[in-house]
Amino acid sequence: MGQHGLSLKRNNEILRRFFMKLCLMKILIVCVILSGISCSKVMNNTCTTVDARTYTSQPIVIKNDGCITIEIESQLSTGYRWRFAIKENPGMLINSDYKVQTSEGQIVGGIDKEIFTFKAVKAGNATIVFDYVRPFDKNPKPVKTKEFMITITQ
């Protein structure tokens, strides 16, 4: 094989690698786009937001595949935090997000806000019970309890 044959073989190898990388890049781009679509579907779904301070014990109505965000004040610097359990029909809601908004200046004993988001996965009624506890204590007993009744419609 002459010089021209080796050069042609090398060029073919370079082109093969280039097209393989190009295909991998296309696959990666498609994966990123698809993951963005699924995330945006969840993120664009407007949640019903409930402030625990003004909740009146009436059932909160949301649609199946919808979501509810419950905002509860706490004092995280004291070691207390809200722990939840879905008592009635636990298979109807899933916890999909948890955030904390700390008070400005992060003052010890300052008021924080714990934000729980639940996604509805089945129609029916569910009850979420929040207990305010120090989770590191052995057998912690709640100092406060809040209960939220949720009705999930089709």
For the stretch 90-104, pLDDT in tens is 889 999 999 999 877
**The pLDDT of residue 72:** 98
Given a cut of 70, whether residue 2 has pLDDT beyond it is no
What pLDDT score does 40 carry? 38
Phi, psi of 16 (to 5 degrees): -60, -45
Q: Which two tokens stand for residue 130?
A: 């929040």
What are the start-end ranges of the H helices in the chain?
A: 3-44
What pLDDT does residue 41 have?
43
d(Cα 69, Cα 133) in Å, to the nearest integer?
Answer: 20
Structural domain boundaries in the chain? 1-44, 48-153
pLDDT-derived band at 135, boundaries 50, 70, 90: very high
Task: Calculate mean pLDDT across residues 105-131.
Answer: 91
Instruction: Give me the mean pLDDT over the 102-127 stretch.
Output: 88
Confidence of residue 5 (pLDDT cuts 50, 70, 90): low
Smallest CA-to-CA distance from 112 within 71, 69, 70, 75 is with 75
List the single range of 44-53, 66-75, 94-103 with lowest mean pLDDT.
44-53
Q: In this structure, is the dihedral angle defined by the CA atoms of residues 90, 88, 123 and 54, taken in order, positive or negative?
A: negative
Q: Output the average pLDDT for the chain.
A: 83
Q: Residue 116 — pLDDT band, cuts 50, 70, 90?
A: very high
Q: Is the pLDDT of residue 12 over 60?
A: yes
* CATH level 3 topology of 48-153: Immunoglobulin-like (2.60.40)
